[in-house]
Structure 1
Amino acid sequence: MATRGTPEKCLLNRMNLTYDASSVDSSVEEEELSGQAEEDEEDVDDRPAVFICGKCKLPIGDTMSWDGSEDGQNQIRLKQVTDNVVIGKENRLHEVGKRSLCLILDLFCRGCHSVLGMVYASTPKSLDHKRFTFCLNVADIESYVLGSATQKLAADGPKEQPVTLEYRGIVEQQLMEVKMLAMSMGLRMEEIEAGLQEGRDDARQ
Structure 2
Amino acid sequence: MLGTFSEGIQEHGITESVSNNEIISLVPNPFVFQCKNCRVIVGDSFQWVTNNEKLNLITLQALTEIVEVSAILMISKSLEDPGSAFYVLSCKSCKTVLGRKYITTLCKLDSLRGLYSLDASSIESYQLGTSLQDGERPSLENLPTLSSLHLQQLKMEQVILSFNERITDLEEDLAMLEDLAF
TM-score by length of 1: 0.50
Structure 2 residue identity aligned to 1:141: I
Structure 2 contact 101–114 (Cα < 8 Å) conserved: yes
Separation in 1, partners of 2:27, 2:77: 33
Matches within 5 A, 1:22-171: 46-97=28-79, 100-151=82-133
Structure number with greater Rg is 1
Contact 2:55–2:80, Cα closer than 8 Å, also in 1: no
1:112-139 CA-partner distances (Å, limit 9, x unpaired) = 0110000111223332221111010111
Unaligned stretches of 5+ in structure 2? Answer: 1-24, 135-182
Structure 1 gap segments, 5+ residues each: 1-42, 153-205
Aligned amino acid, residue 50 of structure 1: V
Deviations 1:11-45 (A, max 9, x none): xxxxxxxxxxxxxxxxxxxxxxxxxxxxxxxx797
Give the deviation of 1:96 after TM superposition.
4.7
Deviation, 1:90, is: 0.4
Identify if the C-alpha distance between structure 1 residues 97 and 137 changes in structure 2 by more than 3 Å, giving closer, same or farther: same
The structural deviation recorded for 1:143 is: 0.7
Aligned length: 112
Taking only aligned residues, the RMSD between alpha carbons, in angstroms, comes to: 2.5
For the residue of structure 2 that corresponds to 1:127, the secondary structure is helix
Q: Deviations over 1:68-99 (max 9, x none)?
A: 11101111000110001000000111035378
Residue 76 of structure 2 aligns to a residue in which SS? strand
CA distance in 1, matches of 2:42, 2:112: 18
TM-score by length of 2: 0.56
> Which of structures 1 and 2 has the larger relative contact order (alpha carbons within 8 angstroms, sep 6+)?
2
**Identity across the alignment (%):** 29
